Amino acid sequence: MVLQKGRPDGPQVRPMRIAECLLGDDTGTIVFTARNDQVDLMKPDSTVILRNAKIDMFKGSMRLAVDKWGRIEVTEPASFNVKEDNNLSLVEYELVNVVEE
């Protein structure tokens, strides 16, 4: 379920639109980066199905994305309550190199 949708970025060299949306289900929430036509599908309180989505790391946090191999479908309203207190994009990750001796 789409909880929030930010404004798309302004004009760029290439005609690309990007919006960050907060998506959630009954396990938690995550920031989804919508690109181009995906921006139009993301409307607050709509329910979407993401197929073949992937996680991108951005400044140490997770972002959900659907590239050319994935698909977004708008579907019937969800019958679950979104667990808003578990935002996975707020968890910071750091790459740690382990030296084996």
Identify the band that residue 33 occupies on the pLDDT scale cut at 50, 70 and 90: very high
CA 64, CA 99: separation in Å to the nearest integer? Answer: 31
The whole-number pLDDT of residue 66 equals 95
The whole-number pLDDT of residue 16 equals 81
Query: pTM of the entire structure?
Result: 0.76
The whole-number pLDDT of residue 11 equals 58
